[in-house]
Amino acid sequence: MPYISVEEHLPGITGLLEYRKDSAEPIRELTQYLLRGPSTLTEGERELIATIVSYNNQCRFCTAAHTAAADLLFDDDSVTEKVKQNIETSPVSEKMKALLMIAWHVQQGGKEVTTSDIVRAKDAGATDIEIHDTVLIAALFCLYNRYVDGLATVAPPAPEFYKGLAERLVNHGYTRLPQGYDHLKKK
């Protein structure tokens, strides 16, 4: 049971973002820009960064949600699975391997990112903006994971829940639904 009183039909992050809307807005806008805005990284690659950070923070809700979003964007379930097992042997580009290693180090602590991590990414063709966005996406998911788990929100066990959520994240994005979320209440 969550530590504070949030709407029961909104598990995970959604109930928290609805609980306090003035803080939710810049968080939603930041996420929309970083994960869906103009970028030389694909939406799938950016969801992969969100996934690996959430997975290493052991945040069940965020890991399941962003895994499902990445799987949908890649139209392939195996990429997220292999990245979780081992970044170095996963079927992503050398540049993405370097960026995922940076994200993984950010998850451990900002100071864990080394000059050699950065050199490797630049040698693989990563731009300053790509490195910046990778670090900020990883840092942002350290916020989300702590927000979601620090208030003990509910992570539904059913995989179908995350498939539905992923469709919303892929088709609509991260901004608040214009009609709100009352339509998700069980009839």
Partner 1 sequence: MPHIQVPEGVPGIRSLVMFRPETGQYLYKLAQVLLREESPLTPAERELIATHVSARNACVFCMSSHAAAARELYKEDRAIVDCVIRDGDAAPVTPKMKALLVIAGHVQQNGKNVTEADIAAARAEGATDRDIHDTVLIAAAFSMFNRYVDGLASFTPTDPKEYDAMGVRLAAVGYTLPKPVSA
Of the pair 37, 156, the CB lying nearest partner 1 is at 37
**Which residues between 49 and 108 bind partner 1 (CB under 8 A)?**
57-59, 102, 105-106
Number of residues that bind partner 1 (CB under 8 A): 49
Using rule CB under 8 A, residue 8 touches partner 1:
no
How many CB atoms within 10 Å of residue 143? 12
12 vs 147: CA distance, rounded Å = 9
32 vs 101: CA distance, rounded Å = 23
Residue span binding partner 1 (CB under 8 A) among the ranges 24-32, 82-90, 162-170, 178-186: 24-32
The DSSP-derived string for 53-86 is HHHHTT-HHHHHHHHHHHHHHHT-SHHHHHHHH-
DSSP structure class, residue 124:
T
Using rule CB under 8 A, residue 161 touches partner 1:
no
106 vs 109: CA distance, rounded Å = 5
Q: How far is the CB of 53 from partner 1 (least distance, A)?
A: 10
Where do contacts with partner 1 occur on this chain (CB under 8 A)? 3-5, 16, 19-20, 22-23, 25-27, 29-30, 33-34, 37, 57-59, 102, 105-106, 109-111, 113, 115, 118, 128-129, 131-133, 135-136, 138-140, 142-152
